[in-house]
C-alpha cells in the first residue's frame, strides 16, 4: 500500500521537510488518536487550577475516604482531599518533569555531542566521561541527591537528566561522525567556513530529527522515573501532588480505595503510551528505513 | 579494431521479449517505465543494453528475472519468454527454480551480493545443494571445478575464504562461478565491471567471454560504457526513456548509427587520443608540490610501526591556465594527494606551495586566509551540496566567509549561474530539484565564486553519464580559459584524462611511476604500469565520436589487447 512518491523521497528530502510532511506521507489512525489523547491530558493538566472544584492540598477531616459522588467526583483520600482535584493538578508536575528532563538532556547532550563528534582531540576524553556517567543508575542518584538537597523538582530533574545525557551525546556524536565525512562539509572547510559555523549550520541540522525522537523517549521515561521516585518517597515532596506520590500515599489504602492508585496510574500509562507511540511515528517518518514493510 | 561478427540466426532463441510494458504499480495511466520493449537473444550471443541512467536498462533485467519490486513496479503488458516458458505468468515457486537453473545474474557490487559471514566456497555449494541431488563430496568437487574455471588462484584456500578477504576482482569471479555453476541458458550481467579498476575489468570481461564460449550461454550485458560495449557485444540495443530506440550488430551501430540519440551518445564518448597540445605561455606556477608524503599509522606510543604510505615522494607543478591530471587505480593515492593539497588531511612530509605560500605546515587558523586560493569539486554531485540549503546560500557561503557583503555575494551568485548555464531562478531551489549534471555545475560555480588560483577536480565527472560528462568537461575548460585557473584533475579514467589534461602523472600504490606531457605519456608510455592501464582501457582502438577506427593510435605499439 506504499505510495510511490513517498518511497522516492530520499532521506534528505524527508529531513528537509521536517515540519512539513512530504506529500503522500500518511499518518495512521493510531498516532492520530495518541496525539489527541495526549493533547487532552496536557491541556487538562495545565488548566487544572481553573476548573478543579477543591484545593488539592486542603484537608477535610469530615470527608475522609468518601466514595465517588456528585460532591466528590472520584471520592476523597484518607485526609479528606478531593482525588479528582489532586490527580488533575498532579499531572502538571509530572508533565513538567518529563518535558523539563527531555529538554535539558537534549540541549546538554547536543552541545557535548557536537564537540565530541567534530573535534578528534576532545572525543576520547568526553566519551569516557559519558561512559562512566552511564553507569550511574538514575534511581540511586536521585535518592542520593534528595538525601543531600531535600526533595525538590530540581533534584528530580537533575537526577533523571544525568544518566540520559550520555545517550543523547552518543546519538549526536554518531550522526556528526558520519555527516562530517560528507563532501558538502569538506567543501565548507575548503570555502573557509569557521568551525562553529560548520558545526551549527551544516552538522547540527542533521541531528535534529533523531533528537526529536530521542526526546520523546526521555520524556516518557522521566515521567515514569519521577513516579517511581515519588513512590519510593525520594521524589518531589508530598506537598506538591504528582501522579507518583498520589499513588505512593494510596498504597496502604489500596483495598479500601483502589481509585487512589487507579486514576493517576491510568493517566500516567496513557500519557507514556501516547508519547512513545508518537515517538515511533516520528522515527518512521524521519527514517524510512525503519518503516515496517507493509503487505 | 576487431568486432565480434558471428552470425547467430541459426542458433536457438533463448530469450524473447515482446511489447513488454512495465509501469508504476496500480497506475496504468502513468508514463510507463518500459514502453513496448522487444528483445531477442540467441544461444552464445552477447546482447548489450546501453543507455544513460534512468533509461530502463536495469528494469528490463529485473523484469526478466521476475524481480521487479512488487509495491513499485509491475508488468502491464507484453510477454517475456525463456525458451518457450512464459516468465510473465510464472508462479513464485516456478520463478525461484528458474532463477537458479535457467537464468543467472551478476551485479555491480559483488561485496553486497555475497553473504559476508559465510565462506565463499560454501555459498557456491549451497546453490548446488538447493537445486541438485548431488552428494556432499560431489557438490564440493563441482564447486572446486567451477572455481578453477573462473581462474581463481589456489582454489582450496579461496574455497574457505570469507568475501572480505578477497579482492574486488576475485569476488566478481566468485559471483560468476555461482551464477554459472548450474549451467544456465541466460546470464544477465548488470554493470558487472563498473566498480572495478580497468585492468581488473579487462580480466573479468575476458572471463565472461570465455565462460560463454565454453557453456554456450546467452548473455544480456547491461552497461553505460561504450568502450566495454565495443569489446564484448555481438548485438546492441540503445535505450532511451524506457524505449529501445535502435538495435544493430555492433559494427553497424558504431560505424553507421541511424538514430540521432545514438549518434549523440557516441559523440560524447571520450577516446584515448590526447588533446592537441596547448601553447605553453610562460605562465607562473600556481601549485608546486614537492616530495609530498602521507603516511597513515606509524609512530605509536610504545613501538614504532611501519605505517602505510598512501602517497610518497610526489612532486609536480601546475602553471596558471594549465591542467594536470593524476591517473591511477583505486588505492593508488591520487585522492590522497588531492586532499593533502586541499589540506582536508594533513600531509606527513614535503611541501605544497599555492600562489607562492607554503601551506602544508600552516595551522588551521593560519591557513584560513589562503583557503580562497584553492577550491575543490567532488565526485558525488548528490552529496557535495548541503541538501537543506538553497543554491544561493551554498554559492554565497564562501565569499561571505571572506568579507563580501551579502548583496554583493548574491549578485555574483546570479552571474555565476549564467556562467554555468543554469537559469537565475534556480538560485532559490534546493539541490534535490536538480539532476546530477546540474548539481555538478552548481558545485563548480561554488568553487569559482571564490576566484581561486587552483581548482582541484576529484573524479568530478566520474559519476555522470557520458553526454553530461562531456558538457561538464567543456564547462571546466571554459572556466579555466576565462579565469586562467590552474586545474588538478584526478581521475581513474585515462580516456577522460586524455580529453582535458596538458600533463599527466600516473600513480600506483602511492608512488608516481610516470609523469610528463599528456601526449607523450599516452602515446609512448615508458612504465609497464602505464602501458597496462592503456591496454586495459576498453574500446581504445575506436574513435566513437567519428564512427571510425582511431588513426595514429596513441597506444602502446605492438601491444595486444
Q: Write the burial class of residue A53 (CB in 10 Å: 0-12 exposed, 13-18 middle, 19+ buried).
A: exposed
Whether B355 is covered by a domain: the verdict is yes
**A182–chain B Cβ distance below 8 A for any pair:** yes
**Pair B117, B193 in one domain:** yes
Task: Tell me which chain A residues have a C-beta less than 8 angstroms from the C-beta of B376.
Answer: 186-187, 190
* Whether B376 and A186 lie within 8 Å, measured CB to CB: yes
Cβ B162 vs Cβ B120: under 8 Å? yes
DSSP state of A150: -
Nearest to B52 by CA among B193, B198, B261, B236: B261
Domain with B344, as residue range(s), is: 285-299+306-383+452-549
Task: Tell me which chain B residues have a C-beta less than 8 angstroms from the C-beta of A188.
Answer: 386, 397
Fold annotation for A4-18+25-49+74-290 = MetI-like fold (1.10.3720)
B455-491 exposure pattern, b = at least 16 Cβ within 10 A, e = fewer: bbbbbbbebbbbbbbbbbbebbeebbeeeebbbbbbb
**Pair B222, B358 in one domain:** no
Query: Is the pLDDT reported for residue A16 higher than 60?
Result: no
Q: Measured on CA atoms in the order A120, A121, A124, A125, is the torsion positive or negative?
A: negative
**Pair B257, B291 in one domain:** no
Q: What is the ipTM of this complex?
A: 0.82
Cβ A273 vs Cβ A34: under 8 Å? yes
**Pair B353, B261 in one domain:** no
**Pair B518, B379 in one domain:** yes
For residue B342, give the chain A residue with the closest CA. A190
**A193–chain B Cβ distance below 8 A for any pair:** yes
**Pair B129, B193 in one domain:** yes
Nearest-CA distance B371 → chain A (Å): 6
Cβ B502 vs Cβ B419: under 8 Å? no
Per-residue pLDDT of chain B (561 residues; tens, 9 = 90+): 778 878 887 888 899 999 999 998 888 888 889 999 999 999 999 999 998 888 889 899 999 988 888 888 889 889 999 888 888 888 888 888 888 788 999 988 777 888 999 999 999 999 898 888 889 999 999 999 999 999 998 899 999 999 989 888 899 999 999 998 988 999 999 999 888 888 889 999 999 999 898 888 999 999 989 999 999 999 999 999 999 999 999 999 999 999 999 999 998 888 888 888 887 766 788 999 999 999 887 666 666 667 788 899 999 999 999 999 999 988 889 999 999 999 999 999 999 999 888 998 898 889 999 999 999 999 988 899 998 899 999 999 999 999 999 999 999 999 999 999 899 888 999 998 898 899 999 999 999 999 999 999 999 998 888 889 999 999 999 999 999 999 999 999 998 999 999 999 999 999 999 999 998 998 889 999 999 999 998 888 888 888 888 765 444 443 333
pLDDT of residue A11: 43
* Whether B376 and A13 lie within 8 Å, measured CB to CB: no
Strands of B410-510, DSSP E: 454-458, 486-491, 503-508
Cβ B372 vs Cβ B390: under 8 Å? no
**A295–chain B Cβ distance below 8 A for any pair:** yes
**Pair B200, B295 in one domain:** no
Nearest-CA distance B451 → chain A (Å): 11
Q: C-alpha dihedral over A32, A33, A39, A43, to 10 degrees?
A: 150
CA angle A216, A222, A225 (to 5 degrees): 145
Tens-place pLDDT, residues A30-53: 889 999 999 999 999 999 888 888
Whether B275 is covered by a domain: the verdict is no
For residue B72, give the chain A residue with the closest CA. A4
Confidence of residue A12 (pLDDT cuts 50, 70, 90): very low
**Pair B289, B263 in one domain:** no
**Pair B460, B545 in one domain:** yes
Rounded percentage of chain A residues whose pLDDT exceeds 70: 88
CB nearest to B385's CB, from A10, A184, A205: A184
Instruction: Please state the domain count of chain B.
Output: 2
3-state secondary structure of B410: helix
* Whether A190 and B371 lie within 8 Å, measured CB to CB: yes
pLDDT of residue B555: 46
Q: Which residues contact B546 (CB under 8 A, 6 or more apart)?
A: none
* Whether A191 and B388 lie within 8 Å, measured CB to CB: no
Interface test with B, best of A20, A124, A188, A191 (most B CBs within 10 A): A191
DSSP assignment of B76-109: EEEEEEETTEEGGG--HHHHHHHHHHTEEEE-S-
* Whether A13 and B432 lie within 8 Å, measured CB to CB: yes
DSSP assignment of A105-149: HHHHHHHHHHHHHH-HHHHHHHHHHHHHHHTS-HHHHHHHHHHHH
pLDDT of residue B67: 87
Nearest-CA distance B96 → chain A (Å): 20
pLDDT of residue B300: 60
Query: Is the pLDDT reported for residue A8 higher than 70?
Result: no
DSSP state of A292: P
For residue A6, give the chain B residue with the closest CA. B72
**Pair B187, B317 in one domain:** no
CATH of the domain at B245: 3.40.50.300
Task: Tell me which chain A residues have a C-beta less than 8 angstroms from the C-beta of B462.
Answer: none
Cβ B146 vs Cβ B152: under 8 Å? no
CB nearest to A186's CB, from B344, B371, B397: B344
Here the cell at position A8 is 522516492
Query: Is the pLDDT reported for residue A252 higher than 50?
Result: yes
Q: How many CB pairs under 8 A join A and B?
A: 77
Question: For residue B344, how many other CB atoms are within 10 A of its CB?
Answer: 18
Q: Which residues contact B381 (CB under 8 A, 6 or more apart)?
A: B436, B437, B439, B440, B443, B463, B464
pLDDT of residue B338: 94
* Whether A15 and B378 lie within 8 Å, measured CB to CB: no
Q: Write the burial class of residue B360 (CB in 10 Å: 0-12 exposed, 13-18 middle, 19+ buried).
A: buried
Cβ A222 vs Cβ A98: under 8 Å? yes
**Pair B263, B145 in one domain:** yes
**Pair B349, B255 in one domain:** no
For every residue of B218-284, which 3-state class applies, written as one string? EEEEEECCHHHHHHHCCEEEEEECCEEEEEEEHHHHHHCCCCHHHHHHHHCCCCCCCCCCCCCCCCC
Q: What gap in Å lies between CA B407 and CA B392, rounded to an integer? A: 11
Query: Would you mind telling me the total number of residues written for chain A in this entry?
Result: 295
pLDDT of residue A2: 34
pLDDT of residue A105: 95
**A7–chain B Cβ distance below 8 A for any pair:** yes
Whether B136 is covered by a domain: the verdict is yes
Helix, strand and coil in chain A, % to nearest 5: 75, 0, 25
Spell out the domain ranges in chain A. Answer: 4-18+25-49+74-290
Here the cell at position B416 is 555565476
pLDDT of residue A293: 41
Amino acid at each position: 500500500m506504499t505510495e510511490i512518491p513517498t518511497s522516492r523521497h530520499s532521506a534528505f528530502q524527508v529531513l528537509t521537510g521536517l515540519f512539513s510532511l512530504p506529500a503522500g506521507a500518511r499518518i495512521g489512525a493510531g498516532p492520530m488518536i495518541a496525539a489527541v489523547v495526549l493533547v487532552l491530558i496536557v491541556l487538562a493538566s495545565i488548566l487544572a487550577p481553573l476548573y478543579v472544584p477543591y484545593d488539592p492540598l486542603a484537608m477535610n477531616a469530615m470527608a475522609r475516604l468518601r466514595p465517588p459522588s456528585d460532591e466528590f467526583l472520584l471520592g476523597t483520600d484518607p485526609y479528606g482531599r478531593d482525588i479528582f482535584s489532586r490527580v488533575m493538578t498532579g499531572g502538571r508536575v509530572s508533565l513538567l518533569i518529563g518535558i523539563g528532563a527531555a529538554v535539558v538532556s537534549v540541549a546538554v547532550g547536543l552541545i557535548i555531542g557536537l564537540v565530541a563528534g567534530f573535534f578528534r582531540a576532545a572525543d576520547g576524553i568526553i566519551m569516557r566521561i559519558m561512559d562512566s556517567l552511564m553507569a550511574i543508575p538514575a534511581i540511586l542518584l536521585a535518592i542520593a541527591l534528595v538525601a543531600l538537597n531535600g526533595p525538590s523538582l530540581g533534584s528530580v530533574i537533575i537526577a533523571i537528566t544525568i544518566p540520559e545525557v550520555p545517550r543523547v551525546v552518543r546519538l549526536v556524536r554518531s550522526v556528526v561522525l558520519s555527516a562530517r565525512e560528507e563532501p558538502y562539509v569538506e567543501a565548507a572547510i575548503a570555502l573557509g567556513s569557521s568551525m562553529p559555523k560548520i558545526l551549527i549550520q551544516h552538522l547540527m541540522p542533521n541531528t535534529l530529527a533523531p533528537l526529536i525522537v530521542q526526546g520523546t523517549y526521555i520524556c516518557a521515561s522521566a515521567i515514569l522515573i519521577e513516579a517511581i521516585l515519588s513512590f519510593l518517597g525520594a521524589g518531589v515532596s508530598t506537598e506538591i501532588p504528582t501522579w507518583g506520590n498520589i499513588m505512593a500515599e494510596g498504597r496502604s489504602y489500596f483495598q479500601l480505595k483502589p481509585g487512589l492508585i487507579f486514576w493517576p496510574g491510568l493517566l500516567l500509562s496513557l500519557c507514556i503510551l501516547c508519547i512513545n507511540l508518537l515517538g515511533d511515528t516520528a522515527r518512521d517518518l524521519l527514517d524510512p528505513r525503519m518503516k515496517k514493510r507493509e503487505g | 579494431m576487431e568486432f565480434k561478427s558471428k552470425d547467430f540466426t541459426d542458433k536457438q532463441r533463448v530469450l524473447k521479449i515482446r511489447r513488454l510494458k512495465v509501469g508504476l504499480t496500480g497506475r496504468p495511466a502513468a508514463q510507463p517505465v518500459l514502453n513496448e520493449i522487444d528483445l531477442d537473444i540467441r544461444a552464445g550471443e552477447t546482447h548489450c543494453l546501453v543507455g544513460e541512467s534512468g533509461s530502463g536498462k536495469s528494469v528490463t533485467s529485473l523484469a526478466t528475472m521476475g524481480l521487479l519490486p512488487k509495491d513499485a513496479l509491475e508488468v502491464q503488458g507484453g510477454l517475456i519468454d525463456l525458451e518457450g516458458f512464459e516468465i510473465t505468468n510464472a508462479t513464485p515457486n516456478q520463478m525461484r527454480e528458474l532463477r537458479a537453473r535457467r537464468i543467472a545474474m551478476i551485479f555491480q557490487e559483488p561485496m553486497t551480493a555475497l553473504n559476508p559471514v559465510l565462506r565463499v566456497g560454501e555459498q557456491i555449494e549451497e546453490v548446488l545443494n538447493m537445486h541438485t541431488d548431488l552428494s556432499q563430496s560431489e557438490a564440493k568437487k563441482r564447486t572446486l571445478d567451477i572455481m578453477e574455471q573462473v581462474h581463481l588462484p589456489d582454489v582450496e584456500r579461496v574455497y574457505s575464504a570469507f568475501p572480505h578477504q578477497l579482492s574486488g576482482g576475485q569476488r566478481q569471479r566468485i559471483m560468476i562461478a555461482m551464477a554459472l555453476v548450474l549451467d544456465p541458458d541466460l546470464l544477465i550481467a548488470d554493470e558487472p565491471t563498473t566498480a572495478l579498476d580497468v585492468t581488473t575489468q579487462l580480466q573479468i570481461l575476458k572471463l565472461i567471454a570465455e565462460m560463454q564460449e565454453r557453456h554456450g550461454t546467452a548473455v544480456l550485458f547491461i552497461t553505460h560504457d561504450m568502450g566495454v560495449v565495443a569489446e564484448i557485444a555481438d548485438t546492441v540495443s540503445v535505450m532511451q526513456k524506457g524505449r529501445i530506440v535502435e538495435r544493430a550488430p555492433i559494427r553497424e551501430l558504431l560505424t553507421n548509427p541511424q538514430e540521432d540519440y545514438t549518434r549523440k551518445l557516441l559523440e560524447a564518448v571520450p577516446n584515448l587520443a590526447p588533446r592537441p597540445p596547448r601553447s605553453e605561455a610562460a605562465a607562473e606556477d600556481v601549485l608546486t608540490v614537492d616530495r609530498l608524503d602521507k603516511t597513515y599509522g606509524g609512530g605509536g606510543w610504545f613501538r614504532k610501526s611501519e605505517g602505510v604510505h598512501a602517497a610518497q615522494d610526489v612532486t609536480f607543478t601546475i602553471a596558471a591556465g594549465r591542467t594536470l591530471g593524476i591517473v591511477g587505480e583505486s588505492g593508488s593515492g591520487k585522492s590522497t594527494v588531492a586532499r593533502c593539497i586541499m589540506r582536508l588531511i594533513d600531509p606527513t612530509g614535503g611541501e605544497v606551495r599555492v600562489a607562492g605560500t607554503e601551506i602544508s605546515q600552516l595551522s588551521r587558523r593560519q591557513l584560513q586566509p589562503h583557503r580562497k586560493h584553492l577550491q575543490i569539486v567532488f565526485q558525488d554531485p548528490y552529496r557535495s551540496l548541503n541538501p537543506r540549503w538553497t543554491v544561493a546560500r551554498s554559492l554565497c557561503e564562501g565569499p561571505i566567509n571572506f568579507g563580501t557583503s551579502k548583496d554583493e555575494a548574491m549578485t555574483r551568485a546570479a552571474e555565476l549561474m549564467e556562467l554555468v548555464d543554469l537559469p537565475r531562478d534556480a538560485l532559490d531551489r534546493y539541490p534535490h530539484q536538480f539532476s546530477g549534471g546540474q548539481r555538478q555545475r552548481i558545485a563548480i560555480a561554488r568553487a569559482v565564486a571564490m576566484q581561486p588560483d587552483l581548482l582541484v577536480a576529484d573524479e568530478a565527472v566520474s559519476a555522470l553519464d557520458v553526454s553530461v560528462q562531456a558538457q561538464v568537461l567543456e564547462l571546466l575548460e571554459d572556466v579555466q580559459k576565462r579565469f586562467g585557473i590552474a586545474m588538478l584533475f584526478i581521475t581513474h579514467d585515462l580516456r577522460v584524462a586524455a580529453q582535458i589534461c596538458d600533463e599527466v602523472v600516473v600513480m600506483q600504490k602511492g608512488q608516481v611511476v610516470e609523469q610528463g606531457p599528456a601526449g607523450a605519456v599516452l602515446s609512448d608510455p615508458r612504465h609497464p604500469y602505464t602501458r597496462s592501464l592503456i591496454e586495459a582501457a576498453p574500446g581504445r582502438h575506436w574513435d566513437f565520436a567519428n564512427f571510425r577506427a582511431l588513426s595514429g593510435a596513441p597506444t602502446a605499439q605492438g601491444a595486444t589487447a
